[in-house]
Structure 1
């Protein structure tokens, strides 16, 4: 989806308005992560080091049968670019990364601007549903049963 892709590209370019980027631009802000309140918020922390995000990422990776720890956003994008194999699995991995980044960013903004918090489990459930719907919409030659069985 365009909004997922846009946020992913902005995150890769380090142009999201994280507190560390805003502080570099001269804004005076509390620089704690709004998801875990344990460290300074940066792109790497927000998506790959925060306890909240790590829990979400690991759950989605496990759900996709990926059994390794995600390292960084740029590393994951490079891995996807080099990934070979079934075409629908590559689409699934790309979609999942974009949706995860978008939803983690969205959760951060919802906490800041609306003071509403979701648990990691609620976010995981929402991400899984979006990925399922998006992938089924993209597929043309693969049966739904094959995809659904691989996502259980």
Structure 2
């Protein structure tokens, strides 16, 4: 399957992820190879609400939100082939290993979100993830995620 033909616009992303403004952090999927890898895009705008306090004199995207954006890209990779109900399921972090922050992400940057599938075992997915700006690594981490039902009986 050709990787350059699979991309998702915001309308498709909204059907796959339960996140909405202000926490939806993926604008477009540029490349998707099911069960292998994803390359997605987050346009970082000065209009993001977190810039009012982080930091008023020098706006910087919080590192935890860069990790969240990577997790959302990983969720899209998972959900591209796995059937799910975004209303009745949650995609949750269960671990983050080896997180590193290499450069600041500022308003006007295009954050490229890369996640590569490592393994899936007993309902746990593991990914290697990297966020880049202008070809330079901004952040990287190993992400560990799971899917849980929002049904009270399934908790």
- TM above 0.5, yes or no, is no
Would you tell me which structure has more strand in proportion to its own residues?
A: 2
- TM-score normalised per structure 1: 0.35
- TM-score normalised to the size of structure 2? 0.35
The structure where helix makes up a greater share of residues is: 1
Larger radius of gyration: 1
